[in-house]
Amino acid sequence: MSILISTDNKLLDIDCIHQFLTNSYWAGGRSKEEVVKSIENSLNFGIYLDGNQIGFARILTDYTVFGYVMDVFILEKFRRKGYAHQLMKAIMNHKDLQQIQRWMLATKDAHRLYQQFGFEPIPDPSMIMGKLIS
């Protein structure tokens, strides 16, 4: 079995990504057009097993000050095999992301994965603000 992690958008299986995201707890109902636009405006990582996409992540970043890890997934039948760890390692070691001073992400169920890469709960979340348009 051959694993490839790539930032080449031409390799991305948009249908696979959309199908997963639109059924996820964080991106439920996201349209295919929204998925495409979000990909066009992010640094994307696809993970492939024998040429087939099994996972994805995208980074929203200015490449200097801030990086936000988003839409991370491994297809269910490929979980618990270390692929998410490999994907996060590739992201954190990517040459274009080495100057980032503050990383953020949100997760409901993958704390142990991200803690391996130095992520931890924000000490004073009251200073973080947001606006959700629904």
- What letter would DSSP give residue 23? T
pTM for the model: 0.93
Q: What is the pLDDT of residues 32-87, one digit of tens each?
A: 999 999 999 999 999 999 999 999 999 999 999 999 999 999 999 999 999 999 99
pLDDT tens for 1-38 read 799 999 999 999 999 999 999 999 999 999 999 999 99
The pLDDT assigned to 81 comes to: 95
**What's the pLDDT score for residue 117?**
96
pLDDT at residue 125, rounded to an integer? 77
pLDDT at position 124 over 90 = no
Task: Inform me whether the pLDDT recorded for 127 exceeds 90.
Answer: no
**Which residues, in sequence order, are CB contacts of 20 under 8 Å at separation 6+?**
56, 73, 75
CATH superfamily, region 3-117: Gcn5-related N-acetyltransferase (GNAT) (3.40.630.30)
Q: What is the 3-state secondary structure (H, E, C) of 67-126?
A: EEEEEEEECHHHCCCCHHHHHHHHHHHCHHHCCCCEEECCCCCCHHHHHCCCCCCCCCHH
Closest CA to 57 of 17, 116, 29: 17
Does residue 82 come out as left (phi exceeding 0), alpha (psi in the -120 to 50 range) or beta? left
Query: Looking at residue 111, what is its pLDDT?
Result: 93
What is the residue extent of each domain of the chain? Answer: 3-117
Q: Which residues contact 129 (CB under 8 A, 6 or more apart)?
A: none
Kindly give the pairing relationship between strand 66-74 and strand 52-61: antiparallel
